[in-house]
Amino acid sequence: MIRDLLLVSGATAAVVAVLMIITTIAARRAGRFSVVDTTWGLAFVAVAAGSAVLSVGIGTSGPLPWIVLALVGVWGLRLALHMHRRNHGAGEDPRYAEMLGDIPFGKAALRVFGIQGLAAWLVSWPIQAIAVTGSDPLWWLVAIGALLWAVGVGFEAVGDAQLAAYKRSADRPPVMDSGLWRYTRHPNYFGDACVWWGIWLIAAATGWWVAPVTVVAPVAMTYFLVHATGARLLEKTMMKRPGYPEYAARTSMFLPLPPRGRHV
């Protein structure tokens, strides 16, 4: 078991490293670090694909690694396509400009791509565990995890679609505060967290030891989404926009909750 897990972990780490090296080259050519946003979703798809294939080689293959590959594939490919469309032809993301300042490219690349590569590998621990333990899971817990994943993907897709429609509107208000955005200022980040807590539940269905060993993955993802490169960092820029501080005062930052006070 331990040897198999080390094999899967080492192979997936190598896959993520190669993707980040390619992304570094692409960032150098594009002149912006935001290209990593496209790689982020693809990295998890690559890990899930590699883990499923390796599960066949180590003799633990069942339907679950391939089910997880399908779930992660839907999430990751949708996210990658969305980020590519959003960032294509645009300048640098203000989050990266704020975080990196004027430091040299090599140091900035290590900070962005190195850390995000390590984060992707860490968050994918449940996927890796499923590859070596997923032959006989508790299917009722798998179903709960898949349901939470579906809620997360729904929040991301609907939230992104609502924001895109808002941006296309010629007479839009200063701040997007309808639909899912009325209840959370970051429905896509909340959805992302749900996806990875759902994947963790699926992994927990494969063995008693998997849940405590891999819980760091969804915890880390939630921390990244809220505090590190997600909501908190984006809010620094958004708070400068007219109407946003008032919107923030009445709307939950992360968890969907009824708006405070009167909704205008």
- Which of 252, 233, 105, 138 minimizes the C-alpha distance to 186? 252
**What length is written for the chain?**
264
- pLDDT of amino acid 208: 87
- pLDDT of amino acid 92: 61
DSSP codes of every residue in 114-166: IHHHHHHHHHTHHHHHHHHHTTS--HHHHHHHHHHHHHHHHHHHHHHHHHHHH
pLDDT, tens digit only, all 264 positions of the chain: 778 888 999 999 999 999 999 998 888 887 777 888 889 999 999 999 999 999 888 866 689 999 999 999 999 999 999 988 887 766 666 666 666 667 777 777 787 888 889 999 999 999 999 999 866 899 999 999 999 999 999 999 999 999 999 988 888 888 888 999 999 999 999 999 999 999 999 999 998 889 999 999 999 999 988 887 778 878 888 888 888 999 999 999 999 999 987 544
**Residues 159, 189: Cα–Cα separation, whole Å:** 10
| Residue type at position 89 | G
- pLDDT of amino acid 263: 47
- pLDDT of amino acid 171: 84
Q: Please report which helix (H) or strand (E) contains residue 14, including its range.
A: helix 2-30
The phi and psi torsions of 175 (rounded to 5 degrees) equal -130, 140
Quick one: DSSP state of residue 92? -
Q: Can you say how many angstroms the Cα of residue 5 is from the centroid of all Cα atoms in its chain?
A: 23
Cβ-based neighbours of 239, under 8 Å, separated by 6 or more? 245, 248
In sequence order, which ranges of 169-264 are alpha helices (DSSP H)?
187-204, 210-214, 216-223, 231-238, 244-250
Beta-carbon neighbour count of residue 79 at 10 Å? 25
For the chain, which residues make up each domain, given as ranges? 2-250
* Count of alpha carbons within 13 angstroms of residue 35, beta-carbon side: 18
- pLDDT of amino acid 85: 85
- pLDDT of amino acid 227: 83
